[in-house]
Structure 1
């Protein structure tokens, strides 16, 4: 038995034991045996939303405040030219107005995009909460700015759809004096965690019942400081979402890429090969920022083909794709973001069969055609082709064993009729119709079924 198979046998056996006991202990050995809720692996596609006070300057990135204090030259220059010398970051909050925010409209955009879950930044590293938190008095969206529970509004709108609602939450806060006091003691004191972080996350879970808790801001301290395993044991054993919730891996130094229901290891994680654990690629349509930038150029945004390329590679290797957009301070999802999401959704209407609820196949990327990535479902293998072939003939090297008899059927998703093919040793040639009459105009999916298997 190889190492990978042994890992899965151990995981399955421990899962059965813990399902029978109904109890997870506050340690990683126990927590890691929890079975991944099936909905998450089936979902494949989520929308990430970075929204907060940083959306007001909407310049540089969501790290505006920290990098301003850190004397980033472009931010210092921007502030000196546009604001009085005594201006503070906190003064931006009153202009986080969200006057055009319409949660139902957002939910419609995400539905058209083909998303199966949404993750909203409930609180980024600036500490500003998008809900009326008892633990962030005066620095939340109810007390200042929109004077609304914008998180709650989006939660209600999303839960009227078939999409799952999730929440990003930053553990640390750049300039919170209690956190900085704990840090000054080398984290021997846990006043910040005990008095704010743990009750804050429990408040979110109990009030909004999220299906995803996407943790971040963990990297300055060990998981023991954050009391991560204690919190997750409560989440899995006692919380109102204990059977459905999934969490990522950002729970302390050394934890990313090892623990959690799924791993995302680092921003834009896209390893290009299968992983031992379920994983997620959290990436941005704006190449340079997670938050909205008013000064972004068209070339700063991924093209539809670039998005589909990331999607194909991610899903083929067993990952989920979490696609980030940054709303404006007024609550608008910029038209370029809406267009990209709509283009993705239109593609999925034709080709989603190869994406949703799919599994990795024996090969991920074709052995001779680097433009082709594979998924599988039931008795079908799907070849996602990112470039229309010359002479309307696609050549594949990894699927020869599926073409040993004349019973193999190949179709092009979204187009009627069987495609002709020929086997030349282990290379398969599939003959396509003219591109002008094909429904998809970016990336094409061939469905292959060997009726003898």
Structure 2
């Protein structure tokens, strides 16, 4: 099975690139600036929200045997009276995050803006009649947060979408599809998002994997779509959560639920590219709101995962699933506050840093900014750390109190000796190295 899937993925990658391999993608100067800014941010917040929140079963609820016409009736009752984009933005800004990635349209096909391409949207199909993307865009600009928009290549409700391996029981005619029409629909929607909603720093695609088991490789025509995005907003980054090595035209590489190089969730393991990296992870267990999922990761776990991703030279995109009334869950708000407090003190060891110059160690990892090397010690009781010999140490001290740390040369490098490190989320030692 694994061999079959690998072959399908390889064919998918080939089919996705052949359409525009003749014109090799060269990022514009605007894209390069966005990539640099994106990499410096290191921390963003993912928002999965749509009418699926009303069922309290997560964002894939429509895939679990529900008929699309019955599911769509929920739109008539979707009235998130407590939604306040400015409150969201302030809370996220306070967390220390630098950007928001919002689900403009998930696999259920419901659009969270006033699209002219379909009446199945937040303004035309609900009594709420407010454009969520517009309000969020304005709030992000007010709080100096960059806005990324998630957009699904899948639609479990439209008859013209060529059926893949998901959404098979929603009631669509399995004998019918019209890719040309669906492709035009998607591009028209993307054009709306990129022309009517201010600066969008990234389009975050998802769903290419829906056809990774096709007998004949499916051509998503990504090349022209990516070119359109870069034409409409020259500084807009393109990312695609397809779980394989990036295609031509993509500007960031995405890893789902795992840090780059890991594959505990079975969704990664692909080669790590030279593009800016991002790993997305849930704050609890689900992406969309699930009423019984109160198993939130602790503040310590979240800080350590942020440190881990930064040590690998990647961003952390941490997800929240808002409640159907439009509020961010109270526990999520608590975690945002905790993250913000930690980053307000330790942010310079995360923001604008490069990944560790050496592999992750048993005691933790490192980040670097010029001649400043930050050792993030997450193993309590650590008393000794060896800095590899290719890094010439000038001095070492604790980041918080500026207490000197003993250094000693050895054949393996420089040994740092200290009192046993405390049981805290992250004990940071700053090492000054010779350039």
- On whether the aligned pair clears a TM of 0.5, the verdict is yes
Which stretch shows the higher mean deviation, 148-157 or 423-432?
A: 423-432
> What does the per-residue CA deviation read over 1:118-170, in whole Å, with 9 as the maximum and x for residues that have no partner?
10000101111111111121433453142111111111001112210110011
- The aligned residue for residue 106 of structure 1 is 88
Q: How far apart are residue 413 of structure 1 and its match?
A: 2.3
Give distance in 2, aligned partners of 1:191 and 1:181: 14
- The aligned residue for residue 12 of structure 1 is none
Report whether the alignment pairs 1:200 with 2:189: yes
Give distance in 1, aligned partners of 2:300 and 2:24: 38
Structure 1 pair 258/198, CA: closer, same or farther in 2 (3 Å)?
Answer: closer
Which stretch shows the higher mean deviation, 340-349 or 48-57?
A: 340-349
Alignment check: 8 A CA contact 1:419 1:432 kept: no
Structure 1 pair 399/269, CA: closer, same or farther in 2 (3 Å)?
Answer: closer
Which stretch shows the higher mean deviation, 225-234 or 260-269?
A: 260-269
Alignment check: 8 A CA contact 1:95 1:329 kept: no
Structure 1 pair 384/141, CA: closer, same or farther in 2 (3 Å)?
Answer: farther
> What does the per-residue CA deviation read over 1:286-329, in whole Å, with 9 as the maximum and x for residues that have no partner?
12x101111123xx221122212222221111111110010011
Q: How far apart are residue 276 of structure 1 and its match?
A: 3.3
* Richer in helix (by share): 1
- The aligned residue for residue 431 of structure 2 is 448
Aligned length: 390
- 5 Å-filtered alignment, 1:293-304, equals 293-297=290-294, 300-304=295-299
Structure 1 pair 68/425, CA: closer, same or farther in 2 (3 Å)?
Answer: same
- 5 Å-filtered alignment, 1:23-38, equals 27-28=20-21, 30=23, 32-34=25-27, 36=32, 37=34, 38=36
- 5 Å-filtered alignment, 1:352-371, equals 352-366=347-361, 370-371=362-363
Alignment check: 8 A CA contact 1:103 1:157 kept: yes
- The aligned residue for residue 214 of structure 1 is 204
Alignment check: 8 A CA contact 1:304 1:340 kept: yes
Give 3-state SS (helix, strand or coil) of 2:253's partner. Answer: coil
Structure 1 pair 443/57, CA: closer, same or farther in 2 (3 Å)?
Answer: same
Give distance in 1, aligned partners of 2:22 and 2:339: 39
Report whether the alignment pairs 1:263 with 2:250: no
Give distance in 2, aligned partners of 1:169 and 1:402: 43
- 5 Å-filtered alignment, 1:22-421, equals 27-28=20-21, 30=23, 32-34=25-27, 36=32, 37=34, 38-59=36-57, 61-69=58-66, 88-180=70-162, 189-194=179-184, 196-208=185-197, 209-221=199-211, 225-236=219-230, 238-239=231-232, 241-242=233-234, 244-250=235-241, 256-259=245-248, 260-271=250-261, 275-287=273-285, 289-297=286-294, 300-366=295-361, 370-389=362-381, 393=383, 395-399=384-388, 402=391, 408-421=394-407
Give distance in 1, aligned partners of 2:41 and 2:367: 14
Give distance in 1, aligned partners of 2:379 and 2:257: 27
Structure 1 pair 311/275, CA: closer, same or farther in 2 (3 Å)?
Answer: farther
Alignment check: 8 A CA contact 2:386 2:416 kept: no
Structure 1 pair 344/418, CA: closer, same or farther in 2 (3 Å)?
Answer: same
* CA RMSD between the two structures: 3.0
Alignment check: 8 A CA contact 2:162 2:177 kept: no
- The aligned residue for residue 9 of structure 2 is none
Structure 1 pair 31/355, CA: closer, same or farther in 2 (3 Å)?
Answer: farther
Alignment check: 8 A CA contact 1:142 1:148 kept: no
Structure 1 pair 138/317, CA: closer, same or farther in 2 (3 Å)?
Answer: closer
Return 5+ residue gaps in structure 1 as ranges. Answer: 1-24, 71-85
Alignment check: 8 A CA contact 1:388 1:443 kept: no
Q: How far apart are residue 219 of structure 1 and its match?
A: 2.5
Give distance in 2, aligned partners of 1:176 and 1:188: 10
Give distance in 2, aligned partners of 1:351 and 1:67: 43
> What does the per-residue CA deviation read over 1:63-108, in whole Å, with 9 as the maximum and x for residues that have no partner?
00111339xxxxxxxxxxxxxxx99211222332111111111111
Give 3-state SS (helix, strand or coil) of 1:156's partner. Answer: helix
Q: 1:429 aligns with which of 416, 419, 422?
A: 416
